[in-house]
Amino acid sequence: MTALTPLVPHLKALHVAMLLLWCGGLFALPLMLARHDPAIGQADYARIRRATHYTYTFCITPAAVLAIASGTGLVFLREVFVTWMFAKLVFVASLVTFHVWIGYVLVAVAEREGAHRAPRPALPLLLLLGSVLGILTMVLAKPELGEIPMPDWLTEPRGHQLPFDVPRR
């Protein structure tokens, strides 16, 4: 991996830029969804619907994919296999879950015009803020979390045969 070490600053810059775009979009979309109200008129409703759809599809989702891919590359290039990183990945999983939920709400709003209720943005934004602050805490403080308690059956070899053949070199 030493040949790829010069790529680390570029990969890190890509990762941070995509995270900013992804998280910024995740903060903006609940506010945009709150504007989905068929009572505002069909033209305005269609404009807001297109804006949320295109933002999610062409901006935020590609940023999420690039942020996760570059972050995964950084984990392996820097060999950061420590407890705080695994805790950070739990918060990243919550970002992904939030991303999927926003997509679900966008589809529900689009398919049920007039019969939908876009969620109020306060609670989703607080949950998102908690996830982002958790990620920032793990990355910036790098707390010593010790070992995560695991059951013995996960930490000790069992001596059983694998359910598939392992290729020999």
* pLDDT tens sequence across 99-152: 999 999 888 877 765 566 677 889 999 999 999 999 999 999 998 887 777 777
- Pick from 113, 132, 150: which is nearest to 24 by CA? 132
Instruction: Summarize pLDDT for 36-66 with one digit per residue, the tens.
Output: 766 777 777 778 888 889 999 999 999 999 9
How is residue 38 written in tokens?
Answer: 């068929």
Q: How confident is the model at residue 95 (pLDDT cuts 50, 70, 90)?
A: very high
Buried b (16+ CB within 10 A) or exposed e, 51-74: ebeebbeeebbebbebbbebbebb
> Residue 113 has what pLDDT?
56
Residue 64 has a pLDDT of: 98
Give the residue-averaged pLDDT of 70-92: 91
How far is it, in rounded angstroms, from Cα 120 to Cα 98?
15
Q: Tell me, what's the pLDDT at 82?
A: 85
Q: Tell me, yes or no, if the pTM score tops 0.85.
A: no
What is the per-residue pLDDT for 159?
78
Residue closest to 139 by CA, chosen among 81, 88, 96: 88
41: phi > 0 → left, psi -120 to 50 → alpha, else beta; which? left
